[in-house]
Amino acid sequence: MAQKVTIATVARQAGVSRQTVSNVIHTPEIVREETRERVRAAITALGYRASQAARQMRTGRSQLIAVRIEPTRDGINGSVLDRFLHGLTEAAGEAGYRVMLYTATDAANEIATYDDLLGAYDLDAFVLTGTDHGDVRTAWLAERKVPFVTFGRSWDAPERYPWVDVDGAAGTAAATAHLVTQGHQRIAFIGWPAGSGVGDNRRAGWASAVSATGVDPAELNRETPDGITQGEEVARQLLELKLPPTALVCASDSLALGALQAVRDRGAAVAVTGFDDTPVAQAIGLTSVSQPLAQAAASCVDLLAAVLDGGGVDGAGDPGGGPAQVLLTPSLVVRQSG
Amino acid sequence: MAQKVTIATVARQAGVSRQTVSNVIHTPEIVREETRERVRAAITALGYRASQAARQMRTGRSQLIAVRIEPTRDGINGSVLDRFLHGLTEAAGEAGYRVMLYTATDAANEIATYDDLLGAYDLDAFVLTGTDHGDVRTAWLAERKVPFVTFGRSWDAPERYPWVDVDGAAGTAAATAHLVTQGHQRIAFIGWPAGSGVGDNRRAGWASAVSATGVDPAELNRETPDGITQGEEVARQLLELKLPPTALVCASDSLALGALQAVRDRGAAVAVTGFDDTPVAQAIGLTSVSQPLAQAAASCVDLLAAVLDGGGVDGAGDPGGGPAQVLLTPSLVVRQSG
DNA sequence: TTGTAGGCGTTATCAA
DNA sequence: TTGATAACGCCTACAA
């Protein structure tokens, strides 16, 4: 391994002091052009890179963002986190940050990890995914003024902290509207049990779109836990009605995959739409609502950067006057199934 | 935010010098018990955690491991990386390391990122996934003596560097043997085109298990790129043979999912097995070969830790006398499909 | 067994 | 416009 190149090496090579090198890096405009160029040449020639550890000691900033990686739950939808993570890493990199991973078994454990991460690595911020009602994690972080963003809006206190989310209602509404355009009039919804913010939101989009056609949605509304077999079962029941629906809007690709199975088994010409546009949907030709995950990740980084680089290190500060919440609109990807 | 707790704070609180605190942390046995306890009490009372940045400046070790997160390819199999990442984060945490993510568009770009990561963050090691023949990344890292492990064996130079892999041949052989036990005699294989180490390996397991029954496998061997539709297409062709197979061993769950579709469409009683035991397989009842991903991740960390904590910082050193390569055996998860 | 001194690479402050 | 000095928090000699 070649000897470590420090700012002193560069200074010697360029025939200036260390401070001048530092100035060239941080405030180039105060350095005479000729000197500046000489220093820059030395930097590239030596392949110099500032030591993040040393810099952190001085500035107290680690340029590190932490995000939790969950044990894979439903694998179909699990790919969503995967894609989000990729987008986050990319966006963070462009903003000069790196992403660090952590795991946690429960909320208490996760908070202990925050403490650890903050104490040892001096993390700049956290990105939380999937917050629920009365989340203790956000409370803990907010209390200590640790900057954070959540991917998934805050359902209890909409304006309390910065979040990025995808407008699920707009997604299911778009799917429903598309089906209406196709001539469908009896459009059912297969979603999760009432009570989850995300699930209720997706259901609401369908309900409003159906209501807009003058039909009462209540009759064709169904609830079930997520899963392929669950979707198949519920779809089967719907198809056995005396007046069965001609289209099924589902809250997830898992449910839709099951529903599609039921439809095919029955040989019925019933349209099906899913949610998340997972690779499975792409592969089997399932019409699905696509979340702009890369964009969501980029927005998370933007929000964080605004707080970190702008309005001080207290998560409470207004991020540079811009909105602290971002709601993105998903798009409908139409395929054979609908 | 409470004032930062440093080693000096603890020393003052416990009424000792900073050095004594450091000794309690690193070499407790040389400190008198009474003093040790007093210092420990102070540490917990104050919630002290050593600053990783400061420690790194002294020791030159960052306790950071980097791993690349890829843009989601096939989402079904994409969940494999997801689970591996989770296992890696967990195992690394237990060994006192943290996982940092990075992205890269191509090999050149990835190497530039190594340079960056190494220069700025002083990473301790890299975990590479999916190396191919004549990988330039491993060459670059090895040349600079940067410790690394690959998940996926080195197909050209088996003994050149530490790797962890899963015995794919054993997996397909187990699946095939299971089918033989069930009375199947015409067992086909649907795998990827010859040339990829992983694909050839999985094919070999099936071939040897079939050969063991005295049957020539060549006739029922099929090649296709990965994908659900590809699997369906190939399976359809196989089922149209005058003497069709009664069982299909597939190189991936994607292929198997497609094959299952073909089997069902035809109403044939043909068994199907997949590979990776993805959540999709679990959901639709597909028999599949399960890779011990958490264990693989743990092995990667073990190998790395042996090099890092043991035999010096040059990746070439023998990791504490233990084997530098780990080959894990997958298990067969039997479900309705086979 | 405990304490003191110095330096890791940066950057902020101040002086030249 | 540039340079000297100090300090961030830790660890490793070495001295007491």
DSSP string, A88-150: HHHHHHHTT-EEEEE--SSHHHHHHHHHHIIIII---EEEEE---TT-HHHHHHHHTT--EEE
Q: Which residues sit opposite A44 in a β-bridge?
A: none
Q: Report helix, strand and coil shares of chain A as percent, to nearest 5.
A: 50, 15, 35
List the structure tokens of A6. Answer: 């420090």
Q: Do residues B153 and B215 both lie within one domain?
A: no
Q: Do residues B150 and B223 both lie within one domain?
A: no
d(CA B114, CA B193): 32
Are B89 and A101 a contacting pair at CB < 8 A? yes
What is the CATH classification number for the domain harbouring B311? 3.40.50.2300
Q: Count structural domains, chain B.
A: 3
List the structure tokens of B316. Answer: 């070439």
Q: Is the CB of B56 under 7 A from strand C?
A: no
**The one-letter amino acid at A112:** A
Q: Do residues A198 and A255 both lie within one domain?
A: yes
Which 4-63 residues of chain B touch chain A by CB within 8 A? 5, 47-54, 56-57, 62
A vs B: CB pairs below 8 A: 159
Q: Please say whether the beta carbons of B118 and A109 come within 8 A.
A: no
A70 touches chain B (CB under 8 A): yes
Question: In this predicted structure, what is the pLDDT of residue B79?
Answer: 76
Q: Do residues B144 and B192 both lie within one domain?
A: no
Mean pLDDT of chain A: 90
Question: In this predicted structure, what is the pLDDT of residue A318?
Answer: 47
d(CA A197, CA A260): 25
Q: Does some domain include residue A2? A: no
Strands ordered across the beta sheet of A287-290? A221-223, A187-191, A247-250, A271-275, A287-290, A331-333
Cα–Cα distance list, B315 to A89, A193, B62, B136, B162 (Å): 27, 53, 16, 16, 9
Q: Do residues B78 and B45 both lie within one domain?
A: no
* Pairing of β A148-151 and β A98-102: unpaired
Cα–Cα distance list, A250 to A222, A286, B77 (Å): 10, 11, 23
Which stretch of A115-129, A236-250, B306-320 has the lowest confidence by average pLDDT? B306-320
What is the CATH classification number for the domain harbouring B46? 1.10.260
Among A153-162, A182-191, B40-49, B316-325, the range of highest mean pLDDT: A182-191
Tokens 């096939």, located at residue: B74
d(CA B227, CA B77): 10
DSSP three-state, residue B329: coil
Q: Do residues B19 and B79 both lie within one domain?
A: no
The boundaries of the domain holding residue B37 are: 7-57
Q: Do residues B300 and B151 both lie within one domain?
A: yes
Instruction: Report pLDDT digits (tens) over A300-333.
Output: 999 999 988 875 444 444 445 555 899 999 999 9
Of B72, B83, B98, the CB nearest to A100: B98
Residues whose CB is less than 8 angstroms from the CB of residue A333 and which lie 6 or more positions away in sequence, other chains included: A277, A281, A287, A288, A289, A290
Q: Do residues B264 and B225 both lie within one domain?
A: yes
Chain A contacts of B98, Cβ < 8 Å? Answer: 100-102, 121
Cα–Cα distance list, A152 to A71, A76, A84, B224 (Å): 18, 19, 12, 40
A293 touches chain B (CB under 8 A): no
Which 139-198 residues of chain A touch chain B by CB within 8 A? 144-145
B332 touches chain A (CB under 8 A): no
B336 touches chain A (CB under 8 A): no
Q: Does some domain include residue A1? A: no
Q: Do residues A92 and A188 both lie within one domain?
A: no
d(CA A237, CA A221): 12
Q: Do residues A133 and A39 both lie within one domain?
A: no
Q: Do residues B185 and B264 both lie within one domain?
A: yes
* Other C-beta atoms lying within 10 Å of the C-beta of residue B255: 32
Of A53, A82, A227, the CB nearest to B57: A53
Question: In this predicted structure, what is the pLDDT of residue A321?
Answer: 54
Are B284 and A228 a contacting pair at CB < 8 A? yes
**Mean pLDDT on A244-272:** 94
d(CA A171, CA A205): 7
Q: Please say whether the beta carbons of A227 and B282 come within 8 A.
A: no
What's this model's pTM, rounded to 2 decimal places? 0.91
Per residue, the 3-state secondary structure of B75-89, as one string, reads HHHHHHHHHHHHHHH
Per residue, the 3-state secondary structure of B135-186, as one string, reads CHHHHHHHHCCCCEEEECCCCCCCCCCCEEEECHHHHHHHHHHHHHHCCCCC
Instruction: Report pLDDT digits (tens) over A73-113.
Output: 655 566 788 889 999 999 999 999 999 999 999 999 999 99
Question: In this predicted structure, what is the pLDDT of residue B73?
Answer: 62
- Residue B246 phi/psi, 5° resolution? -105, -5
Q: Do residues B275 and B320 both lie within one domain?
A: no
From first to last of its 338 residues, what are the pLDDT tens digits of chain B?
Answer: 457 899 999 999 899 999 999 999 998 888 888 899 999 999 999 999 999 999 999 999 999 999 999 876 655 566 788 889 999 999 999 999 999 999 999 999 999 999 999 999 999 999 998 777 778 999 999 999 999 999 998 877 767 889 999 999 999 999 999 999 999 999 999 999 998 889 999 999 999 999 999 999 999 999 999 988 999 999 999 999 999 999 999 999 999 999 998 998 899 899 999 999 987 888 788 999 999 999 999 999 999 999 888 754 444 444 455 558 999 999 999 999 88
d(CA A151, CA A149): 7
Question: In this predicted structure, what is the pLDDT of residue B149?
Answer: 95
**Mean pLDDT on A121-138:** 89
Which 240-269 residues of chain A touch chain B by CB within 8 A? 254, 257
Q: Rounded to a whole number, what is the distance in Å from the CA of A93 to chain B's nearest CA?
A: 8
Q: Rounded to a whole number, what is the distance in Å from the CA of B76 to chain A's nearest CA?
A: 7
Closest C-alpha among B6, B299, B260 to residue B152: B299
Q: Does some domain include residue A335? A: no
Q: Does some domain include residue B334? A: no
Residue from B61, B69, B253 whose CB has the most chain A CBs within 10 Å, to mutate: B69
Question: In this predicted structure, what is the pLDDT of residue B196?
Answer: 86
**The one-letter amino acid at A253:** D
Q: Please say whether the beta carbons of A313 and A247 come within 8 A.
A: no
Q: Does some domain include residue B85? A: yes
Question: In this predicted structure, what is the pLDDT of residue B116?
Answer: 94
